[in-house]
Chain A
Amino acid sequence: GAGVSQSPSNKVTEKGKDVELRCDPISGHTALYWYRQSLGQGLEFLIYFQGNSAPDKSGLPSDRFSAERTGGSVSTLTIQRTQQEDSAVYLCASSSNANRVSLFGSGTRLTVV
């Protein structure tokens, strides 16, 4: 596709359930990032994948959060035992080694009820 694609665009889940959020980066982009943005707040870095290197997980807020990137392409962010404070927009971005521009998806709005 032409841009970074995220699915679903909206997700409502009950407290305690697990959720999976998907990101399809731009083809050929080696770097992939996850961020989240709570209502009225700034963008918070979560995790960063660069090629085959071990991911930078320094932004993950708790061990309930994990992410994978399969085959250097699609990534899945998993939140286990969701809490109300996990409600936010989860944004994915990707970039290539050729330039220093990160391109963002439209995000997944997660609501935990």
Chain B
Amino acid sequence: DAKTTQPNSMESNEEEPVHLPCNHSTISGTDYIHWYRQLPSQGPEYVIHGLTSNVNNRMASLAIAEDRKSSTLILHRATLRDAAVYYCILRDGGNTPLVFGKGTRLSVIA
């Protein structure tokens, strides 16, 4: 799988938007961009994924650069429950295993 680069940690105030960046300069044309998060003492949880167009769901939005070499996960209003490690992962169009990097540890301050 192609590699992604994320900041080690970020901090946000509660009820403010959070933009979590991810660089993936070696992405291939068939790689999907996936985001998962892991809350403390839990298994990873799917957040969102996309290929080329920006995506929205009830949890977050995914903004994908036109050249697809970077993307940004947007949490519109951070809550304390959003404190977690967020992983940006490239995956081909099949069901191949996710390859987790170190992710970004998001802290949310009340």
Main secondary structure of the interface of B (DSSP, over half): loop
Instruction: Return chain A residues, CB-CB under 8 Å to B91.
Output: 100
Q: How far is the CB of B47 from chain A (nearest CB, A)?
A: 10
Q: How many A-B residue pairs have CB under 8 A?
A: 51
Instruction: Return chain A residues, CB-CB under 8 Å to B43.
Output: 91, 93, 104-107
A106 touches B42 (CB 8 A): yes
Instruction: Return chain B residues, CB-CB under 8 Å to A30.
Output: 95
Q: Is B19 an interface residue (CB 8 A)?
A: no
A103 touches B46 (CB 8 A): yes
Chain B's closest residue to A47 (CB) is B97
Q: Is B7 an interface residue (CB 8 A)?
A: no
**How many angstroms from the CA of A105 to the CA of B44 in the assembled complex?**
8
Q: How far is the CB of A30 from chain B (nearest CB, A)?
A: 7
**How many angstroms from the CA of A43 to the CA of B102 in the assembled complex?**
9
Q: How far is the CB of A6 from chain B (nearest CB, A)?
A: 9
B95 touches A56 (CB 8 A): no
A102 touches B98 (CB 8 A): yes
Q: Is B45 an interface residue (CB 8 A)?
A: yes
Q: Is A54 an interface residue (CB 8 A)?
A: no
What would 23 A/B residue contacts be, using CB atoms closer than 8 Å?
A30-B95, A33-B97, A42-B102, A43-B44, A43-B98, A43-B100, A45-B97, A45-B98, A45-B99, A59-B97, A93-B44, A97-B95, A100-B32, A100-B34, A100-B49, A100-B93, A100-B94, A100-B95, A101-B46, A102-B44, A102-B46, A106-B42, A107-B43
